[in-house]
C-alpha cells in the first residue's frame, strides 16, 4: 500500500497519506487533514521506496527483472510508465528470463 509523507505549508504539520493503489494516489486530491489546505510538500523519507525518484530507464534488464519479481505494484507501474513498455510484454519477458535462469 503506497504511503506518502507530506508537510502542510499552511499549518506546518506533518501528515501521512495512504492509498490502496498507485492509481488511487494519482487520482486523489491531497489535502491536510488538520486544516484542509491542499498546499502540501512531499517529504522524502526513504529514497529507495520513492518511485518518483528511481530512474528505471537506466536499469539493466536484470535490475528491471528484480523490480518485476519484487512485485511492488507502485514500483512496477512506475517502471512501465518510465520505460513506456507494454506491461504484459514485460511480464512475459520476465517469465522467459526466469525460465532461462532455471528458477522454480
Ligand atoms: Zn494543514
Do 38 and 29 form a contact (C-beta atoms < 8 A)? yes
Q: Does residue 50 lie in a domain region?
A: no
Mean pLDDT of the chain: 78
Are residues 68 and 40 part of one domain? no
Domain check: are 36 and 66 in the same one? no
User: Nearest 5°: phi and psi at 8?
Assistant: -80, 125
60 shares its domain with 35: no
Ligand 1 centre to CA of 31 (Å) is 8
Q: How far does the centroid of ligand 1 lie from the alpha carbon of residue 48, in Å?
A: 27
Give the number of domains in the chain: 2
- CA–centroid distance, 51 to ligand 1, in Å, is 25
Query: Would you state the pLDDT for residue 87?
Result: 64
pTM score, whole prediction: 0.41
Say how far apart CA 103 and CA 97 lie, in whole Å.
Answer: 9
Q: Which residue has better confidence, 102 or 27?
A: 27
All 3 cell numbers of residue 58?
537506466
Q: 33 and 8 in one domain?
A: yes
Expressed in angstroms and rounded, the spacing between residue 95 Cα and the centre of ligand 1 is 46
> Tell me, what's the pLDDT at 7?
92
Domain assignment of residue 19, given as a range = 3-45
Q: Are residues 38 and 60 in the same domain?
A: no
- Using CA atoms, how far residue 66 sits from 31, 48, 56, 59, 70, in Å, is 34, 14, 12, 10, 6
Residues 7 and 40 in one domain: yes
Q: What percent of the chain has pLDDT over 90?
A: 20
Amino acid at each position: 500500500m503506497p504511503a506518502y509523507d507530506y508537510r502542510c505549508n499552511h499549518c506546518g504539520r506533518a501528515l501521512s497519506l495512504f492509498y490502496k493503489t498507485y492509481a488511487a494516489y494519482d487520482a486523489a486530491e491531497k489535502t491536510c487533514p488538520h486544516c484542509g489546505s491542499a498546499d502540501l510538500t512531499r517529504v522524502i523519507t526513504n529514497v529507495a521506496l520513492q518511485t518518483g525518484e528511481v530512474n528505471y530507464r537506466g536499469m539493466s534488464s536484470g535490475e528491471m527483472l528484480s523490480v518485476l519479481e519484487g512485485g511492488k505494484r507502485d514500483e512496477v507501474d512506475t517502471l512501465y510508465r518510465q520505460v513506456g513498455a507494454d506491461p504484459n510484454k514485460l511480464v512475459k519477458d520476465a517469465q522467459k528470463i526466469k525460465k532461462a535462469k532455471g528458477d522454480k
